[in-house]
Amino acid sequence: MMNNFYQERFYSFFWIMILCFVWSFFWKGLALWHAGRKGQPWWFVILLVVNTLGILEIIYLFGVAKLKFSKLFRK
């Protein structure tokens, strides 16, 4: 009975970690791409090194780069 409890916790944790990785990878890639295109090397390095689960990347995209959601995927 206890073994099943830990196994269920492990699988839940595993899928949460996968979801966090995909979420973070998506936002980090998008923010790095925009920082590189805008010629902002300091933002590029900060975004590359600091891992905030996408929070800093979202702040950069919408607060610093002042992008609209509709322009996130345009060149």
- Are 54 and 27 spatial neighbours (Cβ–Cβ below 8 Å)? yes
What's the pTM value of the predicted model, to 2 decimals? 0.80
Domain that holds residue 38: 21-75
**Predicted local confidence at residue 56, as pLDDT:** 93
- Report the number of distinct structural domains present in the chain: 1
pLDDT band at 58 (very low <50, low <70, confident <90, very high): very high
Per the domain annotation, does 3 fall within a domain? no
Residues contacting residue 21 through CB under 8 Å, at least 6 positions apart: none
Per the domain annotation, does 15 fall within a domain? no
Sign of CA dihedral 23, 26, 32, 37: negative
Please tell me the distance from the alpha carbon of residue 65 to that of residue 34, in angstroms, as a whole number: 8
Amino acid at 54: G
Tens digit of each residue's pLDDT (9 = 90 or more) over 10-50:
888 999 999 999 999 999 999 999 999 999 999 999 999 99
Per the domain annotation, does 43 fall within a domain? yes
**Predicted local confidence at residue 63, as pLDDT:** 92
Per the domain annotation, does 50 fall within a domain? yes
